[in-house]
Structure formats: C-alpha cells, structure tokens
Amino acid sequence: MKRDIFQAIADPTRRAIIALIALQAMTPNAIAENFNTSRQAVSKHLRILTECEVVTPEQRGREIYYRLEIDKMKEIDEWLDQYRKIWESRFEQLDVLLTELQQEKQERKI
C-alpha cells in the first residue's frame, strides 16, 4: 500500500491531528479528547499518518506519544515551489503592466 504526504493531509480530521501535535507530542487518548472523535478513529488516522511517516510513535511506559515529523511538511513546500514560481512571475508581470500604464500616463501629461 503506497501512501504519501498528500493523502495524509487530505482528511480534515488528520489535518486537525497534525495541528494538535505540531507543538508537542501527544497520546491517542489525549488527541481523541480534544475533539469529538472516538479513540479508535484517531488510532486509525495515526496509523495512516505513521505509514506516511508524517508522525512517529514514541513509547513511554504504557503510553505512546505521537510526534510530528515537521520535515515531512517541507516536502509539500518543495512540491508547491514550482507553483510559487508561477504566481510570483505573474505578480511581476502585473507589476510591469502597472509601471507601463504609469509611464503612458506620464507621457500623455507631456
């Protein structure tokens, strides 16, 4: 079964889990208490997130803390980069257009 980061963030519940554990690792029970979902549902999402390596389990006694692998988020950032270039170049084009219009205005004044 091939999973990727994009599938991981496709589900709103999973995005909520990611946001929740971003700042500090949490246990499945603690996560489930934070929004109205059953522990088992959270557990299934955590399994998927673990498979995607977005999240890493850390056993501490009888509890398992799940920690966000922030580096995986960078993968999305890298993928987005190709489009960032496009919207930045569009912005530059708009900028060029605006300055051209400004120049025309100036020339007409003369």
Q: Where along the sequence are the contacts to DNA (CB under 7 A)?
A: 1, 3, 7, 10-11, 13, 27-30, 37-41, 43-48, 57, 59, 61-65
Distance CA 93, CA 87 (A): 10
DSSP string of 14-33, one letter each residue: HHHHHHHHSSS-B-HHHHHH
The yes or no reply on residue 97 touching a copy of itself (CB under 8 A) is no
94 near a copy of itself, judged by CB under 8 A: no
Shorter beta-carbon distance to a copy of itself: residue 44 or 84: 84
Asked whether the beta carbons of 56 and 50 are under 8 A apart, the reply is yes
Q: Residue 71's binding partner, choosing from a copy of itself, DNA, none, with beta-carbon cut-off 5 to 8 A by kind?
A: a copy of itself
Distance CA 41, CA 23 (A): 22
CB of 50 to DNA, least distance (A): 8
